[in-house]
């Protein structure tokens, strides 16, 4: 393989995984005995959206439950824009995913040595497996991280920022270019798996870590891969509302399991308003609840999550993560209602993939939130996110263990240089997307957003890695303009949005 002399050429692997969350590590573990290298910004299980996940893993384990019932709830939450075949695969795999995690050493909440099954919004059955109350993601990542470090076929390479996919003259993806903080590295492989997460952190208010900004999906777009469903962004109804109008930042998530345990949503007068919004009240689908909360906040009415009766004194034991976040904010949820706001939480869109997780570019695969697998439709069902990353990641790893794509040709020169978006521009982009492409959208507002992104791009070096992120944001805005189906939001008239 030929490459410029000022690049470090790393050892070739069978599989190169970009991202060390639940999806990426599931691929890596299941691909044994293939040689796998995992590139990530941080050490596995130290940070990232998977580690932050409070909610559990949905699996039809109850006596009255079944994968078919789980699939029906998934389709309904997705407003029947899901791909039924993908949904059936996901729900059928759920029980084996739980078994697999337990063999890796994951510990889930039990009572009398039986798994506790909780219920969350839009689920017809109690089917949510949790760990330590509200720390499922951290426990899952602890187990996956430990197993990956112990696996002889896996090499973990943290502190790498991938800036471009490596391609040959036929546009086949045959590796990745990564910045290690000092030099550019070329990581060649026969199969490249994008497991870099979603783009919810592009928004002003988000429950995601900063790295979940779509940079991974932007790599695929820059390489020529097709994307899909970028307009479908899920806003979690209950993030901890900030005390003041901070410009941007990550807001602590208040897990849906609180509402599953009986917590209610009340307005400033103490009245439950979801009873009049939906038959399932607080357990309605996330988009319904988010719209109801957003409408009241737009009318300058504060909304609270009231768990004083449902949880009360048991808060520190049942929901330790949420309890700590509330206490840090000066709120004691045992005796006080918690102020809440919707926040960008999850993205259903990403790299278009088929049933084998293949993208439209030879050699490139995508799993987890980076992929548009079609499983979530327009709105993800609660606790199907970790499940998707684990189930489809493991499935892809097993496939690659059996069959790898043919090797590509000579690597083309790196098309990008490491130059992230300046911090002030990142903040401005987050503010604009929240205002124009978030909870309320209009043709007027999205046209403003598109024009502004174009204005920011004009003076930028087209080969700067940060420019790829702006071009991805432009693609997301274009998708929203093309299809008015918005999630956790509503389409406003141009006059309303302008006002």
Q: Are 153 and 33 in contact (CB under 8 A)?
A: yes
Half-sphere exposure at residue 273, Cβ-oriented, CA atoms within 13 angstroms: 21
Residue 322's H or E segment, with its range, is helix 320-328
Establish whether 286 is a catalytic residue: yes
State both tokens at 276: 């009049």
Distance CA 278, CA 286 (A): 11
Distance CA 226, CA 229 (A): 11
Characterize 195-228 residue by residue with b for buried, 16 or more Cβ atoms within 10 angstroms of its Cβ, and e for exposed: bbbbbbbbbbbbbbbebbbbbbbbbbbbbebebb
Distance CA 434, CA 431 (A): 5
Residue with tokens 């004194």: 313
Inter-CA distances, 422 with 7, 218, 339, 474, Å: 25, 17, 32, 17
Half-sphere exposure at residue 227, Cβ-oriented, CA atoms within 13 angstroms: 33
Residue 227's H or E segment, with its range, is strand 227-228
Show Cβ contacts of residue 163 under 8 Å, excluding neighbours closer than 6 positions. Answer: 177, 178, 179, 184, 219, 414, 416, 417, 418, 465
Characterize 302-325 residue by residue with b for buried, 16 or more Cβ atoms within 10 angstroms of its Cβ, and e for exposed: ebbbbbbebbeeebeebbebbbeb
Q: Are 404 and 174 in contact (CB under 8 A)?
A: no
Q: How many residues does the chain have?
A: 499
Distance CA 344, CA 439 (A): 9
Identify the active-site residue in 286, 380, 394, 492.
286
Q: Are 287 and 487 in contact (CB under 8 A)?
A: yes
Q: What backbone torsions phi and psi does residue 327 show, to the nearest 5 degrees? A: -65, -35
Nearest to 9 by CA among 18, 19, 1, 17: 1
Characterize 334-347 residue by residue with b for buried, 16 or more Cβ atoms within 10 angstroms of its Cβ, and e for exposed: beebbbbbbbbbbb
* Strand 303-306 with 338-347, pairing: antiparallel
- Active-site positions read 286
């Amino acid at each position: 393989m030929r490459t410029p002399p000022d690049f470090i050429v790393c050892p070739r692997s069978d599989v190169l995984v970009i991202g060390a969350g639940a999806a990426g590590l599931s691929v890596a573990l299941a691909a044994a005995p293939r040689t796998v290298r995992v590139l990530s910004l941080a050490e596995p299980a130290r940070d990232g959206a998977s580690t932050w996940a409070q909610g559990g893993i949905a699996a039809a384990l109850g006596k009255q439950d079944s994968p078919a019932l789980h699939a029906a709830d998934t389709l309904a939450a997705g407003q029947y824009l899901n791909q039924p075949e993908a949904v059936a695969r996901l729900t059928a795999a759920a029980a084996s995913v739980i078994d697999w995690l337990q063999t890796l050493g994951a510990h889930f909440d039990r009572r009398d040595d039986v798994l506790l099954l909780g219920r969350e919004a839009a689920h017809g059955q109690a089917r949510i497996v949790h760990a330590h109350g509200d720390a499922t993601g951290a426990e899952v990542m602890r187990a996956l991280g430990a197993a990956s470090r112990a696996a002889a076929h896996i090499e973990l390479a943290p502190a790498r920022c991938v800036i471009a996919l490596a391609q040959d003259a036929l546009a086949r993806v045959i590796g990745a270019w990564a910045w290690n903080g000092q030099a550019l590295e070329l990581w060649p492989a026969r199969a490249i798996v994008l497991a870099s997460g979603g783009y919810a952190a592009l928004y002003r208010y988000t429950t995601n870590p900063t790295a979940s900004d779509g940079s991974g999906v932007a790599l695929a777009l820059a390489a020529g891969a097709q994307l899909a469903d970028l307009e479908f962004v899920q806003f979690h109804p209950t993030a901890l509302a900030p005390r003041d109008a901070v410009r941007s930042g990550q807001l602590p998530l208040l897990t849906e399991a609180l509402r599953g345990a009986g917590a209610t949503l009340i307005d400033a007068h103490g009245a439950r308003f979801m009873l009049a919004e939906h038959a399932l009240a607080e357990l309605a689908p996330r988009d319904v609840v988010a719209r109801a909360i957003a409408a009241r906040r737009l009318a300058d009415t504060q909304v609270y999550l009231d768990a004083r009766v449902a949880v009360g004194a048991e808060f520190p034991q049942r929901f330790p993560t949420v309890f700590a976040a509330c206490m840090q904010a000066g709120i004691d949820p045992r005796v006080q209602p918690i102020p809440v706001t919707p926040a960008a939480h999850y993205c259903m869109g990403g790299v278009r993939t088929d049933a084998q997780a293949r993208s439209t570019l030879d050699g490139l695969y995508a799993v987890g939130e980076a992929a548009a697998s079609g499983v979530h439709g327009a709105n993800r069902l609660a606790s199907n996110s970790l499940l998707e990353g684990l189930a489809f990641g493991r499935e892809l790893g097993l496939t690659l263990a059996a069959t790898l794509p043919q090797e590509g040709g000579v690597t083309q020169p790196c098309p990008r240089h490491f130059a992230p978006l300046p911090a002030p521009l990142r903040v401005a982009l987050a503010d604009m997307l929240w205002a124009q492409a978030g909870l309320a959208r209009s043709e007027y507002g999205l046209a403003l957003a598109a024009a502004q992104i174009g204005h920011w791009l004009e003076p930028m070096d087209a080969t700067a890695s940060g420019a790829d992120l702006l071009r991805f944001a432009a693609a997301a805005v274009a998708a929203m303009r093309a299809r008015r189906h918005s999630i956790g939001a509503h389409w406003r008239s141009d006059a309303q949005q302008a006002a």
